[in-house]
């Protein structure tokens, strides 16, 4: 056993009667351990302890390879190093608290992409049904990724309880799209105000939130199908759903929308048009 890291609520948050203990135990690389034995739930003095054993090489890979402000990064970064017999592990733990600009850009795109579908659904229920309760529910679903945007934009680590974090940073906005929807009587005016505030929040930050996507289309310099764009972001950044972001940006006039010929099966003889997008140069260019 080379190091022990206390994670979860006991390391940085308030605990209560049902809190458990999360431990990451870094072990020597040469030790042969069955993968099934790397995670074990212990019972110590009436307390549940979830222990995750991790070979040193795997721990290094997670620290150096995981996106900063991802769940894995935040889980470890908010932990406390209890002890270590290896100075390299101490150094790795210290580096967990640095958030790179590129990582922040990736996580902003991920959060914005997750917020868009919920807001689209909220608009649909408001316009087509006039259902204030269900519209508010979809806005509340969007509150978590919107809160992630706020916290990441402030250069902070994202907690599991990210909405309370964001309320401290931007109380006016998150009262409108979260607290007021929960605690006040819903009217068409207040729900519409929450929708408008969420729309304005994304639109005003679009160049930063979608910078990675816009940069990719600019570098490509030609029309790219939604499948090609999805493959690029899945392969290089590990997440899906950027087609939704492309449609949003096209509706905003930031990028262009087009179609590219594709055949539905290998034996098809007729081309159909696949949704595609391209970079629109700025007028100054």
Q: How confident is the model at residue 284 (pLDDT cuts 50, 70, 90)?
A: very low
Q: Beta strands of the chain (E only): which ranges?
A: 3-7, 21-27, 39-44, 47-55, 80-84, 224-225, 255-262, 272-279
Unique residue bearing structure tokens 């929450």: 194
Domain spanning 3-95: which CATH class is it, in words? alpha beta
Backbone angles phi, psi at 38, to 5 degrees: -80, -15
Which are the contacts of 238, defined by CB distance < 8 A and separation ≥ 6?
Answer: 67
* CA atoms of 266 and 180, how far apart (whole Å): 53
Residue-wise pLDDT tens digits, 82-92: 999 899 888 88
Q: What is the pLDDT of residue 62?
A: 76
- Model confidence pLDDT, tens digit, residues 212-255: 999 999 999 999 999 999 999 999 888 889 999 999 999 999 99
The torsion region of residue 130 among left (phi > 0), alpha (psi -120 to 50) and beta comes to left
DSSP 179: I
Which residue intervals of the chain bear CATH 1.10.10.10?
212-279
Domain 212-279 top-level CATH class = mainly alpha
Instruction: Identify the pLDDT of residue 151.
Output: 94
Instruction: Please tell me which residue, 225 or 39, carries the higher pLDDT value.
Output: 225
How far is residue 251's CA from residue 260's CA, in Å, rounded to a whole number?
Answer: 19
The single residue listed with the structure tokens 């309370």 is: 164
d(CA 202, CA 115): 9
Q: Boundaries of CATH 1.20.120.330 in the chain?
A: 101-209
- Entry pTM: 0.77
pLDDT digits (tens, 9 = 90+) for 96-149: 766 678 888 998 999 999 999 999 999 999 999 999 999 999 999 999 999 999
Please check the confidence at residue 33 and state whether its pLDDT lies above 90: no
CATH of 101-209, one of 1.20.120.330, 1.10.645.10, 3.30.43.10, 1.10.10.10: 1.20.120.330
**Secondary structure of residue 70 in the 3-state scheme:** coil
In the chain, which segments carry CATH 3.30.460.10? Answer: 3-95
Whether 223 and 276 have beta carbons less than 8 Å apart is answered as yes
User: Which whole number is the average pLDDT over 252-264?
Assistant: 90
What is the per-residue pLDDT for 31? 59
- For residues 174 and 133, is the Cβ–Cβ distance under 8 A? no
Measured between alpha carbons, how far is 231 from 153 in angstroms, rounded to an integer?
26
What are the CA-CA distances from residue 71 to residues 105, 158, 161, 189, 220 (Å)?
A: 15, 8, 12, 36, 30
- In angstroms, rounded to a whole number, what is the distance separating the alpha carbons of residues 204 and 193? 16
Nearest to 277 by CA among 210, 221, 204: 221
The Cα–Cα gap between 115 and 57 comes to: 35
Q: Which residue has the tokens 């620290």?
A: 63
In degrees rounded to 5, what are phi and psi of residue 95? -75, -10
Query: Partners of 23 in the beta sheet?
Result: 6, 51
Structure tokens that stand for 85 in this block = 């017999």
């Amino acid at each position: 056993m080379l190091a022990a890291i206390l994670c979860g609520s006991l390391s940085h948050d308030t605990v209560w009667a049902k809190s458990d203990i999360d431990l990451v135990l870094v072990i020597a690389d040469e030790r042969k351990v069955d993968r099934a034995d790397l995670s074990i739930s212990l019972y110590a003095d009436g307390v549940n302890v979830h222990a995750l054993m991790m070979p040193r090489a795997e721990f290094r890979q997670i620290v150096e390879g995981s996106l900063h402000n991802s769940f894995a990064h935040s889980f470890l970064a908010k932990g406390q190093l209890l002890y270590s017999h290896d100075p390299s592990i101490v150094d790795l733990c210290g580096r967990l608290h640095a958030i790179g600009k590129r990582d922040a850009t990736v996580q902003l795109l991920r959060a914005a992409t997750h917020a868009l579908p919920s807001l689209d659904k909220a608009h649909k229920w408001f316009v087509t049904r006039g259902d204030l309760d269900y519209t508010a529910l979809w806005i509340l679903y969007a509150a978590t990724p919107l809160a992630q945007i706020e916290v990441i934009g402030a250069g902070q680590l994202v907690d599991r309880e990210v909405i309370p974090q964001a309320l401290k940073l931007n109380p006016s906005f998150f009262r409108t799209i979260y607290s007021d929807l929960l605690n006040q009587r819903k009217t068409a005016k207040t729900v519409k105000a929450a929708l408008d505030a969420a729309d304005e929040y994304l639109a005003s930050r679009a160049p930063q939130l979608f910078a990675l996507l816009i940069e990719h289309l600019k570098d490509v310099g030609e029309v790219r199908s939604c499948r090609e764009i999805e493959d690029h972001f899945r392969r290089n950044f590990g997440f899906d759903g950027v087609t939704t972001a492309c449609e949003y940006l096209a509706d905003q006039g930031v990028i262009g929308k087009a179609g590219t010929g594709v055949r539905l099966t290998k034996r098809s003889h007729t081309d159909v048009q696949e949704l595609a997008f391209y970079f629109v140069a700025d007028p100054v260019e």
